[in-house]
Amino acid sequence: MDITFENVSYTYQKNTPFEHKALENISFHIPKRSFVAIIGHTGSGKSTLIQHLNGLLIPTEGKVTIGEYELTKEKKPENMKALRSKVGIVFQYPEHQLFEETVEKDIAFGPKNFGLDDATIEKRIKEVLPKVGLSEELLSRSPFDLSGGQMRRVAIAGVLASKPSVYVLDEPTAGLDPRGQKEIMDMFYELHHEEKATTILVTHNMEDALKYADYIIILNKGKKYMEGTSEEIFKHEEALHNVHLKVPQSIQFIKQFNERFQTDIPLKKHSLEELAEKIVKSIRSKTDE
């Protein structure tokens, strides 16, 4: 599903002494099937923005379009439940949202709430379990008897079982060790390609943005600060430093290599093999000169 924000602003507690403008005049377009990272520190407006994607919040000004659904202060979809079935949000610490007595019931909660029949739900559960790295043996157990990593996978399975067209990942690796972070992000990256979904990763981790995203949108104090491909974004190191964001180490290495050896290796995602090959080619070309 395509997603478009047109001059979107959002104000909390408008016309009260506690009025606070969390988003201001934000516009961008996310094509369907793309993987986009939305980056910014606490207070930048990330959480407010993603709550517009399934109608938890309605713009104070402007328009949000998600596929065929439009949200404005004058108009919102008649069937909000249909929109929410299309947009699956994995919030920070999703395991905190578990509440059923068994893993099976917890995974089934979302699809059941969206009106799916028992046979379809059972089929969906069996399909998503291997995708999140869980076995069917866990279905009868209490989710609260599982490890923290397993609980998070159960919560994610509950989102996947509704088969959304859009995945919204709100700091999905928060609190995990480095290995757990990589496993979860690799899992979502595979799902993104397998399901041909639109994926939005909300993060402050520039390394993840570089590794997984096709496009990056940076927020600062409720406004869109910068957007572009990783190659376009990482050219502006000083601008990133001004909003307390660090250029990934691999990009720093490429920039330093380019400056020292007068080469032009692109400032974008490279596998180690690709980067090594480009460095060798660059050195050989300089030697031949």
| 18 occurs within a structural domain | no
Structurally, the chain folds into a number of domains equal to 1
What is the residue range of 255's domain?
Answer: 248-289
Q: pLDDT for 101-158, tens place per residue?
A: 999 999 999 999 999 999 999 999 999 999 898 999 999 999 999 988 888 899 999 9
Query: Structure pTM?
Result: 0.89
| 129 occurs within a structural domain | no
Residues with Cβ within 8 Å of residue 276, at least 6 apart in sequence:
none
| 254 occurs within a structural domain | yes
Neighbours of 94 (CB within 10 A): 21
CA dist 90 and 104 (Å) reads: 18
Q: Which two tokens stand for residue 237?
A: 């190191």
| 267 occurs within a structural domain | yes
Residue 253 in this model has a pLDDT that exceeds 80: yes
CA dist 252 and 250 (Å) reads: 5
| 196 occurs within a structural domain | no
| 199 occurs within a structural domain | no
User: Closest by alpha carbon to 260, among 252, 268, 269, 249?
Assistant: 252
Q: pLDDT for 35-51, tens place per residue?
A: 999 999 888 999 999 99
| 273 occurs within a structural domain | yes
| 31 occurs within a structural domain | no
